[in-house]
Amino acid sequence: MPWEDVKHILRPETVHMGVMKADSEKCTNCMLCIDNCPFRAWEVGENEVPRMKEEYACFSCFNCMVACPVDAISIVDTYHVDKGFFATDPHPLPVKMPYEPKDAEGNPDKWNEIELAVYERRSVRNFKDTPVPETLIRRVLEAGRFAPSGGNCQPWKFIVVTNKPLIDEMNEGIYNVLNMLYQMYRNDETVKNLASMYEADPNPGLWDPRIILGGLGSISEKAAPVFLNAPAVILVACDDRAIGGPQIAAGICGQNMNLVAKSLGLGLCWVGFSQAIEMVPPLKEKLGLKSPWKINTAMVLGYPRFKQEGIVPREFRPVTWFREGSEGPEIEE
C-alpha cells in the first residue's frame, strides 16, 4: 500500500492532548495524580506542585482527578483532533457529569447500587502486593462465564496467571513487540514501513494517537509494565468462530467481571495490549493457545493501593430521539 494512502492515519495532524491543572493553593503534594496517570503526563513542578510535562500524552481519562484527595485537579482542555481522519465530532467534545436521577414520574431520585457501581468504577492501575485469594478470582470468573453471548455460543475461556515469573515473561515479550512498533512509528522514515502492516490488517483504531503516542509510548518508556505490577492477570481467549465475532461478547463478559471485582473490593483494568501475545509464538505455546483460540483482551486484578474510583465527567454526544407523535428526530441540546 502506498504511503500517501495511509499518511493521514499514521501521521495525523491537529492532535491536541488534554490539559489538566493542579491548584497550588489546594495541593497537598501527595503526588497521587502523578501515580494515577496511565501515561505519566505529570511531573513535579515548582513548590512540589504537579504540572503537565512539556511533552506528554493525555487522553482525558481524568484519573488524576479521582485520586486527588483535596479536589485540586481541574480540566483546562480535553483531548481532541481538529481535522483529518481522527477528527472528533464536534471538537472538542463537551464533557458532562451524569444527569441527575429521576424516577418514573420525573421526580428527583437517588442512584441505585448498580448505577453507582457503573458510574464510580474506574480502571485501577496501582495495586498492593497482596495476593488475591483464588476464591475471589473464581467469583470474578463466574461473573464472566454467565455473561450473555450471541446464540449462547459463549466464545471465551480464561487463563489465570498469578505466577510472577510468567507475568514478567509476558511483560517482556509484549514490551519487545510494542516497543518495536513505537520506535518505527516515531521515526519519519521507518513509519512508512507500517503501511504494509496496515494493509494486512486495515483497522484504523489500532493507530489512534491516544493508543500510539500514549499507550505504546508509556510502555516503550517503561513507565509501567504491561500488566501493571498486578498480582493476578486474567487472559480472555476467544474463539474466532464466534457468532457475530467474539469482540462484543468478550466486552460484555469482561464488564460483568469488572463490576463484580469492584463489588468485592478489588480493582481491575483492561489490558488490550495483551493481544500482542499473538505475535510471540513461545508465549502462545506456553499458555496453551491453539487455533481457533486467540487472546482477545486481558484484565489485571488486585487490591487498589489508594483510592482510584469516583465519578468524573465524560464526553457527551447529543442523543437523537424519535418520540411517539413527533414528526421527525429531536436532538438533545
pLDDT digit string, tens, across residues 288-322: 999 999 999 999 999 999 999 999 999 998 899 99
What number is the average pLDDT over the span 135-146?
98
- Mean pLDDT score of the chain: 95
Q: 3-class SS at 120?
A: helix
**pLDDT at res. 96:** 94
**pLDDT at res. 6:** 95
Query: Is residue 147 classed exposed, middle or buried when 0-12, 13-18 and 19+ CB atoms within 10 A define those classes?
Result: middle
**pLDDT at res. 49:** 97
Pick the CATH number of 3-96+315-321 from 3.40.50.1000, 3.40.140.10, 3.40.640.10, 3.30.70.20: 3.30.70.20
**Strand 42-44, strand 19-22: pairing:** unpaired
Decide: 132 and 301 in contact? Cβ < 8 Å: yes
Q: How far apart, in whole angstroms, are the C-alpha atoms of residue 113 and residue 109?
A: 13
Q: Which of 110, 149, 332, 125 is nearest to 224 (CA)?
A: 125
Sequence-distant (≥ 6) Cβ neighbours of residue 111 within 8 angstroms: 101, 119
Banded pLDDT at 240 (limits 50, 70, 90): very high
Please determine, for residue 77, whether its predicted confidence score (pLDDT) is greater than 90: yes
Q: Which of 126, 95, 129 is nearest to 31 (CA)?
A: 126
Decide: 17 and 68 in contact? Cβ < 8 Å: no
Please determine, for residue 227, whether its predicted confidence score (pLDDT) is greater than 90: yes
Which amino acid type is present at position 104?
A
Q: Is the peptide bond before 90 cis (omega within 30 degrees of 0)?
A: yes
| Residue 35 phi, psi dihedral angles, 5° rounding | -65, -35
Per-residue pLDDT tens digits for 253-290: 999 999 999 999 999 999 999 999 999 999 999 999 99
**Strand 330-331, strand 320-321: pairing:** antiparallel
This prediction has a pTM of 0.94
**pLDDT at res. 333:** 75
What number is the average pLDDT over the span 246-253?
96
Please determine, for residue 91, whether its predicted confidence score (pLDDT) is greater than 80: no
Banded pLDDT at 139 (limits 50, 70, 90): very high
What number is the average pLDDT over the span 107-127?
97
Residue reference for cell 457527551: 316
Q: How far apart, in whole angstroms, are the C-alpha atoms of residue 144 and residue 251?
A: 10
**pLDDT at res. 214:** 94
What number is the average pLDDT over the span 184-190?
95
Q: Which of 85, 144, 130 is nearest to 301 (CA)?
A: 130
What number is the average pLDDT over the span 138-148?
98
| Residue 188 phi, psi dihedral angles, 5° rounding | -65, -20
**pLDDT at res. 92:** 74
Side-chain half-sphere of 253: how many Cα atoms within 13 Å? 28
Q: How far apart, in whole angstroms, are the C-alpha atoms of residue 195 and residue 6?
A: 6
Banded pLDDT at 172 (limits 50, 70, 90): very high
Query: Is residue 120 classed exposed, middle or buried when 0-12, 13-18 and 19+ CB atoms within 10 A define those classes?
Result: middle
Per-residue pLDDT tens digits for 27-72: 999 999 999 999 999 999 999 999 999 999 999 999 999 999 999 9
Residue reference for cell 497482596: 130
Please tell me the CATH code under which domain 123-302 is placed.
3.40.109.10
Decide: 69 and 2 in contact? Cβ < 8 Å: no
Please determine, for residue 90, whether its predicted confidence score (pLDDT) is greater than 90: no
**pLDDT at res. 88:** 85
Decide: 251 and 150 in contact? Cβ < 8 Å: no
Handedness of CA 130, 131, 133, 138 (dihedral sign): positive
CA–CA distance from 228 to each of 166, 170, 212, 302 (Å)? 14, 12, 18, 10
- Sorted by where each begins, the domain ranges of the chain are 3-96+315-321, 123-302
